[in-house]
Structure 1
């Protein structure tokens, strides 16, 4: 990047005007918007450009003909967990990007990437520039195991590992060790199954996805042949869905290795289960207990990799290697269940079990973090306290997505949740609870602040330049795209 372009996108240290808290009163000449009325339109900003942010914007723009919506994102690229969380071999899930792109192309919507709210601009400054602020920044941290040995090399959070193979810049320097034969994943949700599938998938399948070349190279040399997915409860409490389970059962070159005794007493419970749980449990039982057909039996016999679910086990310690320099195993507490169904609680029995392994992945959930001391936050729950998206005791402040309800559910869940928040905001506009009679300058005011601080936001058209390069690089090697991992390289492309 040329010195001039580098200066424009970020001045190190922000020493120039770090203490500014007042807003300019003139519009930025580069701001172009067509409004349907001469009245002041509601100026709304959304922090975070993942599914929650874009679905909130979509609903606002669709149901209010004057609302102006600006989406702020700390990375130079949009789409959050759709880009960095969805498994590379699930391209159909990423089709929602087409809908988000339509939203971004609205003349009443502006994307401002490369802007970290809380550092480059404060929540208070956004509140001064906008009539409403919606926090949709997701769950940016991981939950810790809280056990001895957790920090040993060879132990990774699912969040970091998924970010590594999906090209999240923060995780690009991760260097997972695939030299051992066995990997253990702590957790039995969809993310855990995604990781198991990536670890065991034939390389020729992964080569056709948008997995990063760095990850592809590392997995090509992997010696991992067995993956255990460990859960503290039983088969009636697994958190993955039937689609992901079915993919694992038929994964080429891989066979399931489950213990039939874990499923033999489930017959009496299955008939009373809700339909989704019933179908899932029936598939689990079938895979474990029923003799496979001739073709499937042959496939399994020829497979050199295997995976299995280990129930009623909870991690208590990571076991170090003889020299103490890396993980060599995991010690599990054997548990029993008290209660039934979703409310069953795992209770330690006092017994333990050790599994030798060289790779341990903790898939026990993501965690949201506070964005500002001025925004209420429930640390225990990892959410912003709210009522239907209205932040508690903070008029004009809203939240949607994982920071609103916790890191659960799929993209469709986030869509519904985000629409609910947007509807709350629209109702407040209609009732007068959200007063937008005063003119607010929105993005034009924030752009001027950012310019004074040496920061130039990345626009959606800038992102499309990055997108075009990634797609072209991918096409050269038969992939949908080859993601750029370094934000500096992204900014260089924008500056051309």
Structure 2
């Protein structure tokens, strides 16, 4: 990507033109923050999305049995409804348009592509068939257009590595009776696959003690309320070190988590057909099965002071890694491969020399890594927009553009690209709701790109 001089000054009285690349919460909140900023000459924001549908993490990351979390979609939709915001979906930066083209057509470009790939885990056997990143399973059960349509659920026992909310989501969706998901928007093929699952036990494995688990108390309570599932906690895992006791004293959330875990340990088991075992202070050292050519177990070392170094082998036939997410490199944009983020300072993207690149910004997980939940993106959006507007006010010459964004989108359409606008998305939304109503469900997701585009064309524009 060129780091050249900024383009000439913008014509007086013209609205500021901004492209936001990514329509997840960070991108949409950035658009909303811009149009609410009260700029004297106004602002026009195009929200670009490589998939035919908006909302990113909310549509394809929030667990389907969390409909209350998905209600944030209505807030995001209000932003896309704003007359100064335009949805430009089905456009992939790098495939359909370059970053240089965007920088030429807009006064500022904000990268909001999130973190969608699994963080690497150096572990012998991690490349065995049957060992997956959690994001791969999540994409399947969320009906992501780029995910496989079927999933191997023949394992009776599985291990989930990690003690964050993603690990708990994976464990809960795998263990939950499939009939419960008929009240959600999961695709029919996903429900069918889960209904045929052979699962009996899920082992959620964390290397640190329970006081450092990243589960939210609410997620734990939800797990405990799943019917026909026992949550199993070994009381020995809840014996804390002096350092652990001190940590709890200063962390209310951690205390609530440990209290919930103690409740599970005291409750014991009921003989339910499925079990979720929450295991702490166990360091994974090897995925077993290299001789067999498939996952046959997980080897761990106990890290608790009373049993440090003790080897434990879990007989599992599948392993899911839920140890964090990373961003993907973006075509033409700087990328810090070590940290898995776009290098930046206060949202300003930094070039190879460490200096900000004119008119280029980043927001959300693409710039910070996976920090905070959906609500955190509002704060992130405000911070990046503050930097952008500060630069525009200080150096108006950097807020200029010779090309017209309308010409760019028309050129993409003229080239045969199916660009989905807001009407197209509304048509997709209506088609999914209608498909759900036909079977007594709130919505049934369309999963194939061509299905989505066909729905967009029926009454919208694509």
Q: What TM-score does the superposition give when structure 1 sets the normalisation length?
A: 0.83
Give 1:330 shift. 1.5
Which of the residues 182, 186, 190 maps onto 1:211? Answer: 186
Alignment length (residue pairs): 438
SS in 2 for 1:207: helix
1:364 aligns with 2:323: yes
> Out of 221, 229, 235, which is 2:196 matched to?
221
CA distance change for structure 1 residues 131 and 307 in 2, over 3 Å: closer, same or farther? same
Post-superposition offset of 1:251 = 1.7
CA displacement at 1:335 relative to structure 2: 3.2
Q: Distance in 1 between matches of 2:437 and 2:397?
A: 48
Asked if 1:73 is matched to 2:41, the reply is: no
Please say if 1:385 is aligned against 2:343.
yes
Bigger relative contact order (CA 8 A; separation at least 6): 1
Counterpart check, 1:413 vs 2:389: no
1:244-294 CA-to-partner distances (Å, cap 9, x unmatched) read 011112221111211101113368436622222222222223332x4x4xx
Q: Is the 8 A contact 1:77 1:113 kept in 2?
A: yes
Contact conserved, 1:384 with 1:403, CA < 8 A, in 2? yes
What is aligned with 1:153? 129
Partner Cα separation in structure 2 for residue 434 and residue 283 of structure 1 = 57
Going from structure 1 to structure 2, the CA distance change for 1:428 and 1:56 (only over 3 Å counts) comes to: same
2:7 aligns with none
Q: 1:61 aligned to 2:35?
A: yes
5+ residue gaps in structure 1?
1-36, 338-347
| Secondary structure of 2:358 counterpart | coil
Q: Is 1:301 aligned to residue 273 of structure 2?
A: no
1:102 aligns with 2:78: yes
Cα distance change of structure 1 residues 452 and 383 upon mapping to structure 2, 3 Å threshold: same
Q: How far apart are 1:206 and its partner, in Å?
A: 1.0
What is aligned with 2:452?
490
Residues 65-88 of structure 1: CA deviation (Å, up to 9, x unaligned):
411000110000000010000011
Find out whether 1:269 has 2:243 as its counterpart.
no
Q: Which residue of 2 aligns with 1:394?
A: 357
Partners of 1:302 and 1:434 in 2: CA distance:
70
Shift of 1:315: 2.4
- C-alpha displacement at 1:150, in angstroms? 2.3
Using the TM superposition, name which of 189-198 and 200-209 deviates more: 200-209
| Matches of 1:482 and 1:170, distance apart in 2 | 17
1:284 and 2:261 matched: yes
1:101 shift after superposition: 1.2
Partner residue of 2:311? 352
Map 1:171-190; keep pairs closer than 5 Å.
Answer: 171-176=147-152, 178-190=153-165
Question: Residues of 2 paired with 1:214 and 1:416: CA distance?
Answer: 37
Q: What RMSD, in angstroms, separates the aligned Cα atoms of the two structures?
A: 2.2
Alignment of 1:160-175 (within 5 A): 160-175=136-151
Structure 2 unpaired stretches of 5+: 1-10, 351-355
- Report deviation, 1:351: 4.5
SS at match of 1:327: coil
Give, in angstroms, the shift of residue 148 of structure 1.
3.0
Secondary structure of the structure 2 residue equivalent to 1:408? coil
Contact 1:104–1:460 (Cα < 8 Å) also in 2: yes
> Which of 260, 276, 283 matches 1:314?
283
TM-score by length of structure 2 reads 0.89
Specify whether residues 312 and 445 from structure 1 end up closer, same or farther in structure 2 by C-alpha distance, changes over 3 A only. same
Aligned equivalent of 2:3: none
The residue that corresponds to 1:328 in the other structure is: 296
Aligned 8 A contact 1:270 1:282 in 2: no
Whether the 8 Å CA contact 2:179–2:195 is kept in 1: the answer is: no
Tell me which of 435, 438, 443 is aligned to 1:481: 443
- Shift, 1:440, TM fit: 4.4
Q: In the aligned structure 2, how far is the partner of 1:175 from the partner of 1:286?
A: 34
- For residues 151 and 270 of structure 1, what CA distance do their matches in structure 2 show? 36
Mapping for residues 92-131 of structure 1, pairs under 5 Å: 92-131=68-107
> For 2:105 and 2:260, how far apart are their aligned partners in 1?
53
Deviation of 1:356 after TM superposition, in Å, equals 0.8
Find the aligned partners of 2:240 and 2:360 in 1 and give their Cα distance.
50
Query: Are the equivalent residues in 2 in contact too, given 1:131–1:440 (CA < 8 A)?
Result: no
Change (3 A) 1:169 1:148: same
Answer yes or no: is the 8 Å Cα contact 1:368–1:383 preserved in 2. yes
Contact in 2 for aligned 1:236/1:281 (Cα 8 Å) = yes
Aligned to 1:244: 219
Distance in 1 (CA, whole Å) between partners of 2:324 and 2:205 is 14
